[in-house]
Structure 1
Amino acid sequence: MFDQAGETAGRFLEADVRLGVTGLRRAGKTVFTTAVVDNLLRAGRLPFLDVVASGRFQAARLRPQPDADVPRFAFEEHLATITAAQPDWPEPTTGISQLRLAIRYRPNSALRRTLQSVATVNLDIVDYPGEWLLDLPMLRQSFAEWSALSLELAARSPRDALSVDWRGWLSAIDPAGPDEEEEARRGAALYTEYLHACRRAESFLSIIQPGRFVEPGDLKDAPLLTFCPLPGERRGRGTLWALMESRYEAYKSSVVRRFFAEHFARLNRQVVLIDVLGALNAGVSGLGDMKRALEMSLEPFRHGSSGWLDWLFGSKIDRVLFAATKADHIASSQHPNLKGILDSLVAEARRTIRFEGAQVETMALASLKCTETVVTEHEGRTLRCIQGVPVGRDRPTVLYPGEIPDGADAMTVARNRSYRFMPFRPPADAGRDGRGLPHVRLDQALQFLLGDYLE
């Protein structure tokens, strides 16, 4: 009987938590996930993770993941790329992947310690493209509504120049015309080319929808990826409009709703990574597009009174972290200002959202710290600069990227443009001291996302 009680207590103290990791364009989610796992395995650089700071952390180890039909996150491969003799950035992941990490610790509560001296949290990290998160709002939109919004977006600068060929096709076809397969495929191909152009654009466009058009995976050439927005109102059966509408609904049902049911609805915590500095480099258009993308990314967490998100009530997400990445690309004294810019980007959406007991936090961090802050004198001024190896160079360089004004909103900073934030190469000695990859505030991010599970 005592052994049975101990086994029951052991199961009680073994918790599972699913952490979703996604990111807008070029945000570095592959490096984030790699750095999280490496630092939890080594626990040498996590002073602000309470379970480590209090000495209650025992160890962490990789375990077989629970979902056998989801590709495994290639942690070892990505870490090897970052820590190689000639370090490089790993290739970005293009689909969903997963990894399970078991964390053993001593409970903080005296009551829990009487049941079992050591507890375990199984952390399942689910890494998926940001475009998949941005697809979720489509579930509440009809084809006509989605088309109108997409057409309006495509007509604005700088997307208008990128969508010329597709919009030219639109002007030459009749949505009420016959549902010819060749015409549908032509329109879908031009629309897909436009989305790829948005993804490559120097203007740093973030809204890429539908997401599977640019990352089709095993859906390549599937009919449900051969549709595009059409102008006007709903048309009758046998028309090009009806064909496109049916494929849009099939995409929602077979792709978006399936992702929600199989993955998103099972998450407990979510982190959304954002390259705010990259958007600032791109100016007002890039930052405005990112702001709208962030608003769209918050919609799946919203529980409004209209009932249109009844399908979401299965979601268990109760903490969401929005993180401005690559904070090491500016001097450490600028980090509060970078967080302030992120706050201004999500402020409106965060005010209107109504979480059912959920918490939202923002943070400036660097998953892999590539620079050091140094102080230099220039023309009688003391400047806080950064020193690292920029991409394309082979030796450390001291740079002054400019400063983000204190208290300024995002659009004001974007219009100012008195800065240039450069990308850097991974440091040559990353992780060689055995303490885990160097970072900025990764431990604080983990404390917000996991700290209550490790009490």
Structure 2
Amino acid sequence: MQNSLSSLLDKVRSAASASGETLSDIFSKETHRFTITGLSRSGKSMLFTSLMTMLKSRSEEGYACMPLLRYLPPSQVEFMRIEPIGGYKPFPLDENMAALAEGRWPAATEEAYGFKLIVRLTQTTSIKRHVLPHTDIVFEFIDYPGEWITDIPMLGKTYAQWSDSAWAQLSSGPQQHFANEWKTVVNAFDFEQSPTQDNINELVSAYRHYLVIAKKNGISLLQPGSFLLDSSDFDWQQLGFAPLPSSITSDVSHPWYKAFESHFTAFQKDWLTPLKQSVFRETDKQIILVDLFEGLNHSRQHLYQLKETLSHLADTFVYGQTGWFARNVMRKEAIGRVAFVATKADLIPVSERENLLSLLKQVTEGARARFVDKPIQFEHFLVSAIQVTDEGGSPNALRYQDAENGYVEAAFEPIPASLKAMEADAHFPVLNTQVPQDYMARILSGRGLDRLLQFLLAEGVSNE
């Protein structure tokens, strides 16, 4: 028995040495990694800005804006500080706050960002005080573009498989209304000509134009989304590709098939694989942001497509809790807690939020089906990263600042509680709110983040 224990400790020491940590580091740290996942326009930039602002206010100014740290007795807190995470760019908080000060919303996320909040606690029991004088509790937050999320599933497909599925997607649902120009280009294109760089650029540029138009019109399932990001390191102009007619993808000897299959393979090998390994790291807690208002503003078809997209995205991540040894010694993680979050909840009256929550639960049905028979806890939340509206004169009304900086009131029709309850051609206008002048106070009074983080940290933080 003693030999077995000695052998186990040797393995622990080896694991610690290999990771550059001391044995005491392993047993004196408690790390919680939150991955914030969301499609384009889901509100990630504003949520991250608000979250970081709240944590900085709490850690640097002692402002009690979040009961997140209620688990941590003030008498035991030696210090709290925010630091960058290795391998990630620092989140552009200063730039985003400057934008808000100028009346502009933060720019969309186009790169991977990360930061961590470190809370050092003093041990209270005499034994622990001698062995481990302190405990560091680390909260890591990771944010990345939604376009990357939709691209990762392409790793599991051949070019021909992706091409066929892309044609099926753009020929059905709401996409079909924006793909006519692309289809016209393909139908008129001469595939007998050689796939020179100029000819390839002509076809790829036409397909990218479709992606741009579809994104502007609320389409969520677009691949490759990376082609839409100016910050992308993948050169789509040199190694771009597009879906080809099945008459070509069925002929593996066709010059155009060979050219696009080669580019697709380069996209997988040189871009997606390193991206998955470096950014989509193991995490134990996930926040999935969902913008229901984008669908409500367009059509019921958009909401059904959002449901399909979330279902596909659930295949990108590893779900299922791991044991203590795997987490703390072997550094292996799987997602054990998932929060589905409908953002911008302040854009509707309180009286309509039960319907919005019900709609969120239906839209996430496909994603939750991936959790069957796995030890995963999940919950649904309505969150406002910044409270941009105020109560109106009636339960179905809100007041807000409009584009002319006027303080106006808007009344709301009931929001459907289910997809079936929404008429096929119905759409619900979304308030065009501006950045309020008192944006800092409104960030600190944002709704829902407290309860969200308390759920994610339940059974997590220990000050024993």
TM-score bracket, shorter-length normalisation = 0.7 to 0.9
* Residue in structure 2 matching 1:386, options 388, 392, 398: 398
Looking at structure 2, the residues matched to 315 and 286 of structure 1 have their Cα atoms a distance apart, in angstroms, of 34
Tell me if the contact between 2:343 and 2:383 (Cα under 8 Å) persists in the aligned partners. yes
Q: Which amino acid aligns with 1:91?
A: A
Letter in 2 for 1:29: K
Deviates more, 1:215-224 or 1:160-169: 215-224
Equivalent position to 1:25, from 36, 40, 53: 40
RMSD: 3.2
* Residue number in structure 2 paired with 1:431: 440
Structure 2 counterpart SS, 1:148: helix
CA drift of 1:119 comes to 2.9
Is the alpha carbon distance of 1:80 and 1:223 closer, same or farther for their aligned partners in structure 2, counting shifts above 3 Å? closer
Deviation readout 1:318-353 (Å, 9 max, x if unpaired): 222221000011112322221111100011331244
Residue 227 of structure 1 corresponds to: 241
233-242 vs 88-97, which moves further: 233-242
Q: Secondary structure at the match of 1:298?
A: helix
Contact 1:106/1:118 (8 A) holds in 2: yes
Q: Distance in 1 between matches of 2:236 and 2:209?
A: 16
Aligned to 2:50: 35
Following superposition, the deviation at residue 200 of structure 1 comes to 1.1
CA pair 152-214 structure 1, distance change in 2 beyond 3 A: same
What SS does structure 2 have at the residue aligned with 1:20?
strand
Give the match for residue 267 of structure 1: 283
CA 1:222 to 1:210, structure 2 compared with 1: closer, same or farther past 3 Å? closer
- Name the counterpart of 1:246: 262
The correspondence for 1:339, drawn from 345, 357, 369, is 357
| Letter of the 2:388 counterpart | C
**Cα distance in structure 2, aligned partners of 1:172 and 1:314:** 52
**Matched letter for residue 425 of structure 1:** Q
Distance (whole Å) between structure 2 residues aligned to residue 303 and residue 51 of structure 1: 26
Q: Which stretch of structure 1 is more off in the superposition, 269-278 or 127-136?
A: 269-278
What SS does the aligned partner of 2:98 have?
helix
1:421 deviation in Å?
Answer: 2.8
User: CA–CA distance in 2 between the matches of 1:64 and 1:360?
Assistant: 28
| Code of the aligned partner of 1:387 | R
1:209 corresponds to which of 223, 248, 264: 223
CA distance in 1, matches of 2:433, 2:119: 32
Q: Per-residue displacement from partner, 1:337-379 (whole Å, max 9, x unpaired)? A: 2111110001133124447433332211111111122442xxx
- Residue in 2 that maps onto 1:300: 316
Percent sequence identity over matched residues? Answer: 24
2:133 is equivalent to residue 121 of structure 1 = no
Does residue 170 (structure 1) correspond to residue 170 (structure 2)? The answer is: no
Name the SS of the counterpart of 1:388 in structure 2. Answer: strand
Per the alignment, residue 28 of structure 2 pairs with 13
Q: Report the 3-state secondary structure (helix = DSSP H, G, I; strand = E; otherwise coil) of the residue aligned with 1:17.
A: strand
Letter in 2 for 1:329: L
User: Which residue of the partner structure matches residue 15 of structure 2?
Assistant: none
- Taking structure 2 as the reference length, the TM-score comes to 0.81
Per-residue deviation, residues 37-59 of structure 1 (Å, max 9, x unmatched): 11122232224664269987775
Contact 1:283/1:415 (<8 A) preserved: yes
State the SS of the aligned residue for 2:434: coil
Give 1:93 shift. Answer: 2.2
Distance 1:360 1:56 in 2: 31
The farther-off stretch of 54-63 and 27-36 is: 54-63
- CA contact under 8 A between 2:77 and 2:120: conserved in structure 1? yes
Which structure 2 segments of 5+ residues have no match? 1-21, 59-63, 321-330
Are the aligned partners of 1:175 and 1:230 in contact in 2 as well (CA < 8 Å)?
no
Pick closer, same or farther for the CA change 1:320–1:81 going to 2, 3 Å.
same
Amino acid corresponding to residue 208 of structure 1 in structure 2? L
The change in CA–CA distance for 1:360 and 1:108 in structure 2 (over 3 A counts) is: farther
After superposition, the C-alpha distances for 1:406-428 in whole angstroms (9 at most, x for unaligned) are xx313423648474331322332
Query: CA offsets per residue over residues 96-155 of structure 1, 9 Å max, x none?
Result: 222232234578999978866753223332211112111121122222221111111212
SS in 2 for 1:372: strand
Q: Tell me, in whole angstroms, the C-alpha distance in 2 between the residues paired with 1:375 and 1:53.
A: 42
1:236 pairs, out of 252, 269, 274, with 252
Match of 1:138 in 2: 154
In structure 1, the gaps of 5 or more residues are 1-6, 305-312, 377-382
**CA deviation map 1:384-424 (0-9, x unaligned):** 3222213x13132222122224xx31342364847433132
CA distance, structure 2, for counterparts of residue 375 and residue 117 of structure 1: 56
Q: Structure 2 vs 1, CA of residues 444 and 55 (structure 1 numbering), >3 Å: closer, same or farther? A: farther
AA partner of residue 95 (structure 2):
E
- Report Cα offsets for 1:272-314 as digits up to 9, x if no partner: 211112211111122122112111221213679xxxxxxxx97
CA distance in 2, matches of 1:167, 1:24: 26
Q: Residue 63 of structure 1 corresponds to which residue in structure 2?
A: 83
Amino acid at match of 2:381: M
2:201 to 155, 161, 185: 185
SS in 1 for 2:380: strand
Query: Secondary structure at 1:394's aligned position in 2?
Result: coil
- Per-residue Cα deviation, 1:240-261 (whole angstroms, up to 9, x for no partner): 1111112112211222221111
1:264 offset after TM fit, Å?
0.8
TM-score (norm 1): 0.82
Q: Which residue of structure 2 lines up, in the alignment, with residue 442 of structure 1? A: 449
Q: 1:51 aligns with which of 50, 68, 71?
A: 71
| Residue 250 to residue 125, structure 1, CA distance change in 2 (3 Å) | same
Amino acid at match of 2:405: D
| TM-aligned CA distance change 1:432 to 1:367, over 3 Å | closer
- 2:112/2:142 contact within 8 Å kept: yes
Contact 2:307/2:366 (CA < 8 Å) preserved in 1? no
Alignment partner of 1:369: what SS?
Answer: coil
SS at match of 1:393: coil
Q: Which of 404, 421, 424 is equivalent to 2:415?
A: 404
Which AA in structure 1 matches 2:341? A
> SS in structure 2 opposite 1:321?
strand
> Which residue of structure 2 lines up, in the alignment, with residue 360 of structure 1?
378
2:298 aligns to what?
282
Instruction: Tell me, yes or no, if structure 1 residue 90 matches structure 2 residue 118.
Output: no
Q: Is the 8 A contact 1:19 1:269 kept in 2?
A: yes
Q: In structure 2, what is the Cα distance between the partners aligned to 1:128 and 1:358?
A: 23
1:36 alignment partner, SS class:
helix
Assess if the C-alpha contact under 8 Å between 1:265 and 1:316 holds in 2. Answer: no
- Compare relative contact order (CA 8 Å, sep 6+) and give the higher one, 1 or 2: 1
The 3 A distance-change label for structure 1 pair 89 and 104 is farther
